[in-house]
Amino acid sequence: MSKLILLLAAGVFTSCIKDPLEGYRSQERAILSFRLPQGQVGNAEIANGTDSATITVWAENDLDLRAISPLVTVSKGATVLPAPGVKVDFAANGNRYTYIVTSEAGIQKRWYVHIRRENEQPAGPRLQLLPGNGRWDPRVTVYSDLDYNDYLTRYQHWNGGDGCYSVLLPDGRLLWSFQDSFFGQVSADRNRTDNVMRRNAAHLQLDTSLQSFIPLNPGSGNQSETWIKYGNAPEDQDWYWPGTAQVHNGQLQMLLSHVRKTGNGSWDFAHVSTDLAVFDLPSMQLNHIVKDKDISANYSAGSLKAPDGYTYLYATENGYLTSFMYVARVPGHDLAGAWEYYGPDGWSATPVKYNVCNDITQPNVFYRDGKYYLVSQQIIFGLDIYILEAPTPVGPWTNKRTLYRIPERYSGDMITYNAFVHHALSREGELVISYNINPVDFATNFNRPGSADRYRPYFVRVFNWK
């Protein structure tokens, strides 16, 4: 009798426990594979960006592209249009077509597919294996990306800068932005002479060809002007450093750090506010700037367009031998909307500095397969680039491990910083990360062979990073 009562009680108790997966609908909306039924050369290159994504497929030169029925697989529970096997006339659309993937939860993502001919196929990406020798997680494989290192080895106009960001535009172009940058001529032996420094710069990369480089700064060479100016203020007093950007409602939204000179020394400046620049697409013409969007912290450092309907914004602030990371967010992904701030009691409209992670420099937060990841560089110009993971966009951040250690030759008379994950360049299963080098002695940027290679980004591709 007593056993029967216990069994009945256990049954009642377990029936009250709600299945945590009940009603769950996946938000994954990726194209996992894309293949032509015939005539394809090699594997498709899949780049899954935050706002949009691209697929490049190489085809035989004489393949008829007027009625192609690609074989497409997508995330579990997701659907894709055109559906797998449906005939598509790529030829009528410049060998391009837009596929729309809808997740199980009903969230859509556009995938831009470009079929290119075999005779257009580049030899790259050219990669050089970098031996870890115990300096980073032994499961991780790292290559130097020779293509993009060469792409930003320029000999005229823009030829060096830091704050290297990239964002994929809806038509497949890449927008590159930089903070302090040099403009002018560089000789064959990489000697930078008669250059000027401007506070920010940008260019468009029209396709995967490394030869496409369309500057957005007015002027040319050492007559170039700053891309985005802080009104009519003198450029040596108030300026913008561009930061993270996203596409929203047919426009590009870019957060800017408004910086002000505070003294006569080279390091005498301070962040004043986070402003918002809005550009029309596809022209990339500046539509307007919202000043003082936030005055509490530098939220231009990093952002995440998350699958939960929010864009999360991340700021860092230096402390004694450490740094702190703060989080804000905006519903509906519109950075012009009302921001909320994360604090000890949750989200609030009142700006608050609540530390969610220590020892963070430039924050790179992104979402993959149900987890949130944070890539950052070691504080105080350290050489380690590491990754952490969390179940939510605000943490808790755990499982810290080193992905890559920047070569020792970039220490001593050099500093390194600005590690940034370029999702638009990262194919499936890899991360493309750039970092900046900068000489301690500013004068060594000029007037000697090799001086043009002392202030610039370098790129690595990281595999097995999970």
291, with CB counted inside 10 A (0-12, 13-18, 19+), is: middle
The CA R_g of the chain, rounded to the nearest whole Å, is 24
Span 443-461, average pLDDT: 96
- Where do the domains of the chain lie, and which CATH numbers do they carry? 31-120 (2.60.40.2340), 127-222+299-463 (2.115.10)
Tell me the per-residue pLDDT of 142-199, one tens digit each, with 9 for 90 and over: 999 999 999 999 999 999 999 999 999 988 889 999 999 999 999 999 999 999 999 9
> For residues 172 and 267, what is the distance between their CA atoms, to the nearest angstrom?
38
> For residues 94 and 65, what is the distance between their CA atoms, to the nearest angstrom?
10
Task: Give the pLDDT score at 248.
Answer: 94
Tell me the per-residue pLDDT of 220-268, one tens digit each, with 9 for 90 and over: 999 999 999 999 999 999 999 999 999 999 999 999 999 999 998 877 9
Task: Give the pLDDT score at 14.
Answer: 38
Tell me the per-residue pLDDT of 130-139, one tens digit each, with 9 for 90 and over: 999 999 999 9
Tell me the per-residue pLDDT of 311-353, one tens digit each, with 9 for 90 and over: 999 999 998 889 999 999 999 999 999 999 999 999 999 999 9
Task: Give pTM, 2 decimals.
Answer: 0.80
pLDDT tops 90 at residue 354: yes
Structure tokens given for 416? 């390194």
Per-residue H/E/C for the chain: CHHHHHHHHHHHHHHCCCCCCCCCCCCCCCEEEEECCCCECCCCEEEECCCCEEEEEEECCCCCCCCECCEEEECCCCEEECCCCCCECCHHHCCEEEEEEECCCCCEEEEEEEEEEHHHCCCCCCEEEECCCCCCCCCCEEEEEHHHHHHCCCCEEEEEECCCEEEECCCCCEEEEECCEEEEEECCCCCEEEEEEECCEEEEECCCCCCCCEECCCCCHHHCCCCCCCCCCCCCCEEEEEEEEEEECCEEEEEEEEEEECCCCCCCEEEEEEEEEEEECCCCEEEEEEEEEECCCCCCCEEEECCCCEEEEEEEEEECCEEEEEEEEEECCCCCCCCEEEECCEEECCCCCCCCCECCCCCEEEEECCEEEEEEECCCCCCEEEEEEECCCCCCCEEEEEEEECCHHHCCCEEEEEEEECCCCCECCEEEEEEEEEECCHHHHCCCCCHHHCCEEEEEEEECCC
Of the listed ranges 1-15, 195-209, 357-371, the one predicted with least confidence? 1-15
Task: Give the pLDDT score at 10.
Answer: 40
Q: Which of 417, 374, 454 is nearest to 164 (CA)?
A: 417
368, with CB counted inside 10 A (0-12, 13-18, 19+), is: middle
pLDDT tops 90 at residue 445: yes
Tell me the per-residue pLDDT of 10-30, one tens digit each, with 9 for 90 and over: 444 333 444 444 566 788 888
Task: Give the pLDDT score at 6.
Answer: 38
> For residues 372 and 466, what is the distance between their CA atoms, to the nearest angstrom?
11
Percent share of the chain, pLDDT over 70: 93
Of residues 285 and 98, more confidence is placed in 285
Span 196-218, average pLDDT: 89
pLDDT tops 60 at residue 8: no
